[in-house]
């Protein structure tokens, strides 16, 4: 397989996953915000920082210090092309990658991705308000899932498919740590200290929902939602496909056999160890930001070694 094609397959699946996760994250938090009483403030700012878009946003909206306005943030996270991580930018990059490898994937993939991209460009702006936002985001999520369904059902399990699996798993592991981070950093800001606990559970439920994990959590954990349990489920569960550990184990299975891949294996082992060895009870007390950063750095290293080993050799 051509390195260029393999790399584009990898990036296509990463951007597709990123698009889906961004849509989900904004959607769930939009809902969460509706549940909060007036006395509780919802801060959008951390969401920007977690998606790596905080600085870019502040540069464009210097007037909004801590109190980033919802409309501005939502637009920036979803449709702003000046934000390289916005949902639309991610989808555009998925589409650009796919364009150059159209012949490698089923035609329906292109049609779906292209159709979603064109629709977002045409109707996105009008549907950002609270009234239509969820419909818009749900359709994007659905479209992404249809594409992964087509890939799973109709694409041969050749080496190209392995690179798509690598991209999907790596991106999901990364997004999961970011969404955990966002939840833990306190999007909800109650005014009184006594309310903190009550809203914490709500916050973690929303994290689980952002990762489509709430139902699976209930079935498998059989405990009311708490920070420690949610963390453990999202970080270490080996059966839920969006948990960090599940993704990293899956990557192990998807690594192509040739050429030698010692650097990739070392990087993968490092990331796995961080997720596996985490003491989620302690983390729930002391904060997760540090560990999430470490895992993200390990994932970035893993990405670099994949690029080096397979695409630049």
Kindly list the residues in this chain that would bind another protein in the complex (CB under 8 A): 1-4, 6, 99-100, 102-103, 107, 110-111, 159, 163, 256, 258-259, 310-311, 313
Pick 55 or 125: Cβ nearer another protein:
125
Q: How far is the CB of 14 from another protein (least distance, A)?
A: 16
Q: How far is the CB of 160 from another protein (least distance, A)?
A: 9
Pick 105 or 271: Cβ nearer another protein:
105
Say whether 162 sits in a helix, a strand or coil: helix
Measure the CA–CA gap between 200 and 6, rounded to whole angstroms.
43
Pick 79 or 184: Cβ nearer another protein:
79
Measure the CA–CA gap between 110 and 268, rounded to whole angstroms.
31
Q: How far is the CB of 58 from another protein (least distance, A)?
A: 28
| Upper half-sphere CA count for residue 121 (Cβ side, 13 Å) | 11
Beta partners for residue 40, in sequence order: 190
DSSP 128: -
Count Cβ atoms within 10 A of the Cβ of residue 87 and give its class: 0-12 exposed, 13-18 middle, 19 or more buried: buried
Listed residue (114, 102, 57) closest to 84, CA to CA: 57
User: Exposure pattern of 187-204 as b/e (b: 16+ CB <10 Å)?
Assistant: bbebeeeeeeeebbeebb
Q: How far is the CB of 163 from another protein (least distance, A)?
A: 8
Pick 123 or 293: Cβ nearer another protein:
123
Directed axis angle between helix 289-306 and helix 262-276, to 10°?
A: 160
Q: How far is the CB of 110 from another protein (least distance, A)?
A: 8
Q: How far is the CB of 114 from another protein (least distance, A)?
A: 9
DSSP 189: E
Rg of the chain over Cα atoms, rounded to whole angstroms, equals 19
Q: How far is the CB of 161 from another protein (least distance, A)?
A: 12
Beta partners for residue 308, in sequence order: none
* Token pair listed for 125: 């702006």
Pick 192 or 259: Cβ nearer another protein:
259
Pick 92 or 250: Cβ nearer another protein:
92
Pick 107 or 223: Cβ nearer another protein:
107
Q: How far is the CB of 310 from another protein (least distance, A)?
A: 5
Say whether 103 sits in a helix, a strand or coil: helix
Measure the CA–CA gap between 94 and 112, rounded to whole angstroms.
12
**Residue holding tokens 């560990």?**
291
Pick 106 or 301: Cβ nearer another protein:
106
């Amino acid at each position: 397989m051509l390195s260029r094609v393999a790399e584009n397959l990898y990036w296509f699946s990463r951007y597709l996953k990123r698009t889906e996760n961004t849509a989900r994250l904004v959607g769930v938090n939009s809902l969460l915000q509706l549940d909060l009483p007036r006395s509780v403030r919802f801060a959008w700012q951390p969401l920007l920082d977690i998606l790596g878009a905080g600085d870019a946003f502040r540069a464009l909206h210097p007037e909004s210090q801590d109190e980033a306005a919802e409309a501005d943030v939502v637009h920036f996270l979803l449709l702003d092309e000046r934000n390289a991580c916005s949902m639309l930018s991610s989808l555009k990059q998925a589409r650009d990658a796919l364009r150059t490898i159209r012949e490698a994937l089923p035609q329906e993939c292109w049609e779906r991705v292209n159709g979603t991209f064109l629709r977002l460009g045409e109707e996105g702006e009008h549907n950002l308000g609270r009234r239509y936002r969820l419909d818009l985001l749900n359709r994007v999520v659905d479209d992404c899932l249809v594409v992964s369904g087509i890939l799973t059902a109709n694409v041969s399990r050749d080496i190209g498919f392995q690179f798509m699996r690598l991209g999907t798993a790596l991106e999901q592991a990364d997004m999961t740590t970011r969404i955990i981070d966002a939840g833990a950093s306190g999007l909800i800001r109650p005014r009184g200290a006594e309310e903190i606990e009550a809203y914490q559970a709500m916050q973690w439920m929303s994290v689980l929902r952002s990762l489509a994990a709430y139902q699976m959590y209930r079935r498998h954990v059989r405990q009311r939602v708490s920070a420690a349990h949610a963390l453990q489920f999202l970080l270490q569960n080996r059966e839920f496909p969006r948990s960090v550990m599940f993704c990293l184990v899956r990557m192990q299975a998807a690594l192509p056999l040739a050429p030698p891949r010692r650097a990739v294996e070392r990087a993968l082992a490092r990331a796995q160890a961080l997720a596996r060895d985490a003491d989620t009870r302690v983390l729930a007390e002391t904060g997760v930001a540090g560990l999430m950063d470490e895992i993200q750095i390990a994932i970035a290293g893993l990405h670099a070694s994949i690029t080096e080993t397979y695409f630049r050799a």
